[in-house]
A and B are shown apart, each in its own frame.
Chain A
Amino acid sequence: MYSAGCTSDKFMTSENGWNIMQQISVNVCISVGMTLVILTKGIDLSVGSILAFSGAVAAGLLKNGIEIPGLDLYIGFTVFGAILMGIIIGGSLGFFNGWMITKFKVAPFVVTLAMLTMARGATMLWTGGFPITGLGDHFAFIGTGWFLGIPMPVWISAIAVILAIILLTKTKFGRYIYAVGGNESAARLSGLNINKIKIWVYALSGILAAVGGIILTSRLDSAQPNAGLSYELDSIAAVVIGGTSLSGGRGSIIGTVQGALIIGVLNSGLVLLNVSPFWQQIIKGLVILIAVILDRVNHDNKD
């Protein structure tokens, strides 16, 4: 970051600062959901695909609505309605993930990997493989508009972060999440409904992925069939860099936001420094490794 600031005159500008904030807003949204999941000792590999499908559903409904020829009926969706449907879809897919994991005791890795493929296929089916474009100025405002001098995506991700912090630190449900991740057997013996907690955590992850999908669709003014590819990796990286333990029970939303910021700043700095995209990937991977090693060393010492 220091190097980028010294070398590129564009790096330390407010314009670039807002650009970074806008770019990371999608990752912040999905990473907040991923933090909740990882805190329960789970993982959600389907966020990128859910993001794409939710965005595509919102865009498709807004643009084309639903036609029922038998009843000579066309059901149109307002911007609010389309967004709501996108979020409901995201939440439902997340809920399904949670239900499968708890009902059939399948590893989260496997269930969400299956959902990754299914949701991507559903996106292709829904869009026919073509982008859905021309979604109108009102919808575009969500991803490109400014309110009180701050970009809308930043507002949305900030609200998601604040709500998640309140959920984790001020509610019983938040404490239960830490308890489930910290020691699932102890939590069960304490009378907690583990399955219910996990299902809701995955549903929240789906909802937040959908919110990210709507921001992305709005920013691009189009729903791309291949949107959100590999976003789950960036999201896991943000969570890990932010200090959340992959073993569950330990971590924070603020840490995740810091992790997402580090990745965003790193991306922007490397681009402005004209570092080759191949080297960028290697550097990002090294940063993740160093973060995990530092976290491990720190906590081993405390233990």
Chain B
Amino acid sequence: MDLIKMEKIIKYIIITTIIGLIGYNAIYFQSLKERKNTVISVFDPNVLAKDFIQNKIIELPSMKAGEFLMSLKKDSLKFITENGKKLGISTDYYFIVESNAVIQAIQEENILITLDDKSAVEMLIATDFIFGNTVREASGIANIGDFQNTMDFNNISIALNDKIRSEIIPPFVEKAEKGNKIYFKGAIKVDTKKLGTTPFRIVPLILTFL
């Protein structure tokens, strides 16, 4: 075998090895059935939202609203990034908080409350504009990575929004009066670019009179 042929063979071996290495690091194979078992298939956002509101919100991990606000004052950015949930590359973080509180005023779009603790900090409970996204992100009810397109993911927010607007807020607002002692659990959005903006607005998940 002459030198030129040897060179060609070596060249082909090197090229094949490089392509093989690239391919090995670029793709992987899986059984389709196995794959489908690990990924959410067709789903109904209304069923998901109903199950969440009826069965999951009581046990949903949360922090005391007073503690949340205190921690936010100390080292806000560190606290937020370590304890909050966020979606993708967004700079907004989400939390679930709960506390006892006293109603201070019934406003057009919110109920103004003060926490029933030493801090007596003012917060707002949203009663008109409800953002399902805040609940979806704060609760971790769904992971965007599991969805084929954003429509399905967004529909969860819409379903949550509908449930909160129709089942949680009306029976509470009907009886709410200034001075009432209440217990609330809800979701909060914190925009890291607008830290210090108060009072925080809570999207309610549980609202009960004490």
Contact = CB atoms under 8 A, between A and B. Distances in A.
B89 interface: yes
B145 A78 contact: no
A76 B31 contact: no
A128 B152 CA distance: 13
Q: Is the interface of B mostly helix, strand, loop or mixed?
A: helix
Interface string B163-174: 000000000000
The number of chain B residues touching the other chain, given as a range, is 20 to 34
Contact of A76 (B29, B33, B149, B153): B29
Contacts of B147: 133-134
B149 A132 contact: yes
A76 B27 contact: yes
B32 A134 contact: no
Contact of B25 (A67, A78, A220, A221): A78
B150 interface: yes
A76 B148 CA distance: 14
Given A133-B88, A140-B89, A221-B88, A76 B150 contact: no
A132 B146 CA distance: 12
Given A67-B32, A74-B32, A136-B145, A130 B150 contact: yes
A132 B147 CA distance: 9
Interface string A8-26: 0000000000000000000
A136 B153 CA distance: 16
Contact of B27 (A63, A72, A78, A131): A78
Contacts of B31: 72-74
Contacts, number: 72
B30 interface: yes
Q: Is the interface of A mostly helix, strand, loop or mixed?
A: mixed
Given A133-B144, A134-B88, A81 B35 contact: no
A68 interface: yes
Given A69-B32, A134-B145, A140-B89, A80 B26 contact: yes
A130 B32 contact: no
A221 B88 CA distance: 7
A121 to B, nearest CB: 18
B29 A74 contact: yes
Nearest to A76: B28
15 contacts: A63-B148, A64-B148, A73-B29, A74-B35, A78-B25, A81-B25, A84-B26, A130-B149, A132-B149, A133-B153, A140-B88, A140-B89, A220-B89, A221-B88, A221-B89
Interface of B: 22, 25-35, 88-89, 143-151, 153
